[in-house]
Amino acid sequence: MRTPRVLIAAVAVLMTAVGVTACTGDAAVDKNGVTTLRYQGWPGQVTLPEVAEHLGFFNGKIKLDWVGNTISGPQDIQSAATGQTDFGGAFAGAVAKLITSGAPITSVINYYGTDQQTIAGFYVRDDSPITKPTDLVGKKIGVNTLGGQLEADIHDQLKKDGLSQEQIKTVQLVALPAPNTEDALRKGQIDAAGLSGQFQQRAVINGGLRAVFTDLSLYGPFNGGPYVFRNDLIKKNPDGVRAFTAGVAKAIEWERTTPREKVLATFTDIVTQRKRPNDDTSSLKYWLSVGVPSKGGLLSDSDFTRWQSWLQDTGSVKGDLDASKFYTNEFNPYADKGAESDAKAG
């Protein structure tokens, strides 16, 4: 795995296709009503929208335009909020923080989370003296980004264990590219590593590490983060947002119900066909599950209020969150009475 290259958003140029007749909130719409959505990807990983496009779940209504790779969820949704891309995804706490600060975006569907197979955890070497979460006080912990879920996990676990905010602040968070965090831990450059998704699964298989705690042990299964669109785009092109959301929802259920070998084969085809720089299929084999516990990625208040304590204690928000302002399920085909209850997972 290689370090993701940084998208220089200021020079990202929207290349419109032949036949474009309208521009809806910077999302190009051609004469046949096909909406082109600019987005950022992740090297060596396959996103749900990419699966939806590859398998035809957008029903010919959405075309994805990759403009580069993101370095983190917070950066990804910032790009969407400022119009450098058309949608982005991040940890729900980061989304709540950005919307509370005035960003004109709305969440439409969850895209990642924790279930019994796909988790995030904090790992140390087998010979480490760290044996419990409170031992992390004063230690260096590698995380993929500051202001992301791993930071919130540490806060919530240590607060649950009775530590004060002053003690929690002594934990030294070191932002590292996710593909390199495991190696930094094994070399002793950090005391513990926050690992998630395929990087967590790879580290466990490689051996020699043990978990201090995981987000599954802390919260149980939960929805981790949503995709967001700018409000002006949603207003001007609700059909495009609906087609996108429906396709991603279908991709979630496809990954949930399809044999793992077939999912991995599809991922491999997508990475091979997209032919991007610094991209390969080496980490795909560590994928275990879609991770999203709610049916079709449905959103709920708890997806955001779960992070309220961390947001308040770090001064990111004042007062209680009004989660109803952060999301909508109106574009999700699973948002019927029976499916809504599944959105409460976690």
- Other beta carbons within 10 Å of 239: 13
Mean pLDDT in residue range 200-206? 94
Same domain, 190 and 212: yes
Residue 326: pLDDT over 50: yes
pTM of the complete model beyond 0.75: yes
pLDDT-above-90 percentage for the chain: 82
Name the residue among 332, 346, 265, 324 with its Cα closest to residue 106: 324
Same domain, 335 and 234: yes
Token match 């396709």: residue? Answer: 247
Burial 173-198 (b: 16+ CB within 10 A, else e): bbbbbbbbbbebbeeeebbbbbbbbb
Report the run of H or E that residue 83 belongs to, with start and end: none
For the segment 2-57, what is each residue's pLDDT rounded down to a tens digit? 333 333 333 333 333 333 334 444 678 887 789 999 999 998 899 999 999 999 99
Is 1 within a domain? no
For the segment 77-114, what is each residue's pLDDT rounded down to a tens digit? 999 999 999 999 999 999 999 999 999 999 999 999 99
Same domain, 304 and 252: yes
Mean pLDDT in residue range 188-206? 95
The strand ranges marked E within the chain are 20-24, 27-30, 35-41, 62-69, 87-89, 105-114, 120-125, 140-143, 172-175, 192-196, 209-214, 222-230
Check which CATH number belongs to the domain holding 148 and give it. 3.40.190.10
Integer Rg of the chain from CA? 20
Count CA within 13 A, CB hemisphere, residue 180: 12
Same domain, 36 and 179: no
Which pLDDT score, from 0 to 100, does residue 26 have? 60
Domains held by the chain: number: 2
Mean pLDDT in residue range 314-318? 93
Domain boundary among 196, 219, 242: 219
Structural domain boundaries enclosing 45 = 9-114+224-344
